[in-house]
Amino acid sequence: MPSPKIHPRQALFDSDEVAPLLPVCDHYAGVEVRMRKSLALQAEKGPVFDVTLDCEDGAPIGGEVEHAHLVAELAMSDANRFGRVGARVHPVDHPAFERELDTLIGRAGSRLAYLMVPKPRHFADVKRACDEIDHFVRVHPGARHLPIHFLIETHGALRDVDSIAAHPRVESLSFGLMDFVSAHRGAIPSQGMSAKGQFTHPLVLRAKLEIAAACHAHRKTPSHCVVTEFSDQRAIQEAATKASSELGYTRMWSIHPNQIEPIVDAFAPTAAEVDLAMEIITQAQAADWAPIRHRDTLHDRASFRYFWHVLERAQRTGQALPASVREAFFE
């Protein structure tokens, strides 16, 4: 009787090596009409992108708690079809921070996919935010153990980025381009915030690389920053391709619905890559994950891991996979 086939996640990774599998696009919306349209678009296209409902930039001054109630209502509604809706709150030192957490976790803690916390100034802010979130999770029955994302956009957070990425409550780190450039008091020209300039200025590029490296070292998801030229499809496509293929990012922000599809396309593997990955992973599994020869090339566990990640990206970006592959690996 043949032995049962071992799944790649069991055969190729230790339990502490498995990273979270997040959609490759994180779409932000803060105004009510845009939040509702974003949820409708997600329902149409499927969970190939997350929707982050924005309390920081979406709430009017003085109306932060009311806006948090609206975000919680949307997260709990049928519009949150796939459970892939998160929320961005205010920074830890903002007067509304704790009231937002109380509202969001108390009213929607069972349905939110994550919370995004912007502008930590250092590791201590990250620890405080995590402790506050966990406090409200404990006091509100039914709230889930919410994953926490942070936005790295200050000098202190970049200095502490390895410690931040190592925190066990952190799931993903994003780069906050605009505030990071502004924090340099004019030393980085405005071109450093553009679609092209953000990939050429050394200080900006250094920040991106340090965030990506820290995330991969601690098996967290690095999320690339915005492209503000949202009507320029070529600009977003080029930026997403560079972020994915050159800087090691596995996720990227969208700030306009027109940006979602180019980001998903750029982060998806090519058809040829997927075909090769299916062949190698299927052959390796049949060999009980011993080294194999494929097209006159030797493959072992190291390359098996690489090609398994290709298949995972294909699945996360909604690519059509053969039924046999879906059944064997993703169902």
User: What are phi and psi for residue 150, nearest 5 degrees?
Assistant: -130, 150
pLDDT, the chain, mean: 95
Sign of CA dihedral 191, 197, 198, 204: negative
**Residue 222: beta bridge partners?**
173
**Which tens digits make up the pLDDT trace of 224-269?**
999 999 888 999 999 999 999 999 999 999 999 999 999 999 999 9
Which pLDDT value is given to residue 2? 52
Mean of pLDDT values over 9-35: 90
CATH 3.20.20.60 in the chain, residues?
Answer: 25-267
- Give the model's pLDDT for residue 288: 94
Tell me: pLDDT of 204 over 80. yes
pLDDT band with cut points at 50, 70 and 90 for residue 18: confident
| 148-152 vs 170-175, strand pairing mode | parallel
Please spell the DSSP secondary structure of 220-270, one letter per residue: -EEEE---S-TT-HHHHHHHHHHHHHTS--SEEEESSHHHHHHHHHHHSPP
Locate 62 and state its tokens.
Answer: 């003085």
Out of 2-11, 51-60, 212-221, 292-301, least confident range: 2-11
pLDDT at 1 over 60: no
3-class SS of residue 151: strand
Take residue 243 and report the two structure tokens written for it: 């972020």
Whose CA is closest to 317, among 268, 261, 280, 275? 268
Average of per-residue pLDDT across 49-76: 97
Instruction: Flag whether 153 is marked binding.
Output: yes
Average pLDDT over residues 8-30: 89
What are the pLDDT digits (tens) for 135-177?
999 999 999 999 999 999 999 999 999 999 999 999 999 999 9
So what's the pLDDT on residue 16?
73
Cα torsion 294, 299, 304, 309: sign: negative
Average pLDDT over residues 65-79: 98
Residue 110 CB coordination number (10 Å): 15
- The candidate with the shortest Cα–Cα distance to 211, out of 167, 260, 153, 129, is 153
pLDDT of residue 3: 59
Whether 88 has a binding-site annotation, put simply, is yes
Question: Was 313 annotated as part of a binding site?
Answer: no
Nearest 5°: the CA angle 243, 248, 251 is 65
What secondary structure does DSSP assign to 66-99, as a single string?
HHHHHHHHHHHSTT--SS-EEEE---TTSTTHHH
Nearest to 174 by CA among 194, 150, 193, 190: 150
How far is the C-alpha of 116 from the C-alpha of 281, rounded, in Å? 35
- Structure confidence at residue 265 (pLDDT): 96
- Return d(Cα 113, Cα 184) in angstroms, integer: 33
pLDDT tens-digit readout, 98-146: 999 999 999 999 999 999 999 999 999 999 999 999 999 999 999 999 9
Identify the pLDDT of residue 230.
84
Looking at residue 17, its pLDDT comes to 73
pTM of the predicted protein model = 0.93
As assigned by CATH, the class of the 25-267 domain is alpha beta
